[in-house]
C-alpha cells in the first residue's frame, strides 16, 4: 500500500495531483495493481486491503507463479515490488520450464528472481527483498543469478538491511535488490550502488518499538542524488562498485566484500600500570572480605 500512497501524493510541475491527469485515475483504480497468490485467505485479505485503500478493481489472481500451469504471463509489467518467500523449495517437476532454463534450482528465493525478469517488460524495474544468502551463496545457481543481473541486465542497487527488520516473524538478514530488465544485447551494469542500512526507525528486537535511528530518509535522498563520480568513499554508508570488481569477486554482492572499515586505534596503559591497578582492586576486595568476616564472628 505504500506504493499506492506514494502515487496519490505525486505532484506535477505545477503542483497538481498527478492522479487528476486524464486517464491516470482510471488506470490507478483498474489495471495498475496486480498480485498473485495460491492461498485463498491471502487473496481475500489482499483484495480487501486494496479496496479499503480506495483501489476499486485490484487484479489479485489465484496463481502458483512458479508452476508450469501459469507460465504464460511474461513481459506484462513495468514495475515489480516484491517480498517473495525465503528459504523454501518446490518440487522440481512442477517448476515452469522457462524458469528452469534461466536457473536450475528448486530454491524459491532464486526462482522468484527469474520469474520477475520474465514478468517485466523491457525497461521495467524491480525492487525485491531477498535473504542475504542470495548475495553471496556459492552454488552454481546463486552465482548464475547474480551474474545474470550484473551482466545481462542492470543491477541498479543493493541495500543491505539489519537482521531484525522482519522480527518477530523472522530474524534472517536481508537485502533489497533493485534492477532494470534490459536484455543480453544491451545489458550490463557498469556500476552498482551499495548502501549499508543500519536502522529503519524501529528497534531490531521482537518488540519493534519506534526509535530515533532511521536510515530510510537518507537512503531515499542519496538514491535520488547518487553520482558515480562522487559516491566513492567506501568507508561511508553509500558507494558505487564497478562491474569489473564485482566479477573478479565471483559476483559477490554482500556489502562487506567491498566496504572499507576504519578501525580506531586503541591505546592501552603500560602492563605495569594495569598490574598495579589489579593489585589495588585485589587489596580492596580482600579488605572488604576481612571486614565481612569480622562481622560474622
pLDDT reported for residue 185 = 65
When pLDDT is averaged across residues 206-231 and rounded to a whole number, the result is: 93
List C-alpha distances in Å: 68 to 132, 139, 179: 28, 24, 25
| 237 vs 20: which has the higher pLDDT | 237
When pLDDT is averaged across residues 244-270 and rounded to a whole number, the result is: 89
- Check whether 68 has a pLDDT greater than 90: no
- Check whether 1 has a pLDDT greater than 90: no
* Contact yes or no for 202/208 (Cβ under 8 A): yes
Indicate the pLDDT class of residue 26, thresholds 50, 70 and 90.
Answer: confident
pLDDT reported for residue 65 = 80
Specify the pTM.
0.82
| 35 vs 176: which has the higher pLDDT | 176
When pLDDT is averaged across residues 220-225 and rounded to a whole number, the result is: 94
When pLDDT is averaged across residues 286-294 and rounded to a whole number, the result is: 88
Closest CA to 209 of 200, 219, 198: 200
Euclidean distance between CA atoms 190 and 162, whole angstroms: 27
Condensed to tens digits (0 to 9), the pLDDT of residues 166-214 reads: 888 888 889 999 999 986 666 688 999 999 999 999 999 999 999 999 9
- Check whether 135 has a pLDDT greater than 90: yes
Q: Give percent above pLDDT 70 in the chain.
A: 97
Condensed to tens digits (0 to 9), the pLDDT of residues 75-116 reads: 889 999 998 887 678 888 888 888 888 888 889 899 999 999
pLDDT reported for residue 11 = 81
- Check whether 137 has a pLDDT greater than 90: yes
pLDDT reported for residue 50 = 82
Question: Could you give the domains of the chain?
Answer: 1-63 (no CATH), 65-257 (3.40.50.150)
Least confident range from 87-96, 119-128, 239-248, 252-261: namely 87-96
Amino acid at each position: 500500500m505504500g506504493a499506492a500512497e506514494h502515487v496519490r501524493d505525486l505532484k506535477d510541475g505545477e503542483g497538481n495531483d498527478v492522479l487528476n491527469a486524464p486517464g491516470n485515475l482510471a488506470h490507478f483504480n483498474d489495471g495498475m495493481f496486480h498480485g498473485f497468490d495460491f492461498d485463498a485467505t491471502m487473496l481475500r485479505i489482499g483484495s480487501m486491503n486494496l479496496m479499503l485503500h480506495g483501489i476499486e478493481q485490484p487484479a489479485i489472481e489465484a496463481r502458483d507463479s512458479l508452476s508450469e500451469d501459469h507460465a504464460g504471463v511474461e513481459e506484462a509489467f513495468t514495475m515489480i515490488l516484491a517480498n517473495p518467500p525465503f528459504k523454501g523449495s518446490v518440487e522440481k517437476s512442477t517448476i515452469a520450464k522457462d524458469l528452469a532454463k534461466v536457473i536450475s534450482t528448486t530454491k524459491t528465493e532464486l526462482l522468484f528472481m527469474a520469474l520477475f525478469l520474465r514478468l517485466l517488460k523491457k525497461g521495467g524495474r524491480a525492487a525485491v527483498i531477498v535473504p542475504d544468502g542470495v548475495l553471496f551463496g556459492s552454488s552454481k545457481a546463486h552465482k548464475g543469478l547474480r551474474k545474470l543481473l550484473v551482466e545481462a541486465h542492470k543491477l541498479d542497487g543493493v541495500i543491505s538491511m539489519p537482521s531484525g527488520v522482519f522480527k518477530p516473524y523472522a530474524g534472517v538478514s536481508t537485502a533489497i535488490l533493485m534492477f532494470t530488465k534490459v536484455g543480453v544485447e544491451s545489458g550490463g551494469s557498469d556500476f552498482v550502488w551499495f548502501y549499508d542500512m543500519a536502522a529503519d526507525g524501529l528497534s531490531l528486537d521482537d518488540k519493534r518499538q519506534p526509535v530515533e535511528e532511521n536510515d530510510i530518509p537518507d537512503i531515499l535522498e542519496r538514491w535520488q542524488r547518487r553520482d558515480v563520480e562522487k559516491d566513492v568513499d567506501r568507508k561511508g554508508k553509500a558507494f558505487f562498485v564497478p562491474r569489473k570488481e564485482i566479477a573478479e569477486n565471483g559476483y559477490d554482492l554482500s556489502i562487506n566484500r567491498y566496504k572499507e572499515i576504519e578501525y580506531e586505534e586503541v591505546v592501552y596503559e603500560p602492563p605495569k600500570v594495569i598490574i598495579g591497578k589489579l593489585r589495588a582492586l585485589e587489596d580492596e576486595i580482600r579488605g572488604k572480605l576481612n571486614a565481612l568476616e569480622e562481622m560474622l564472628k
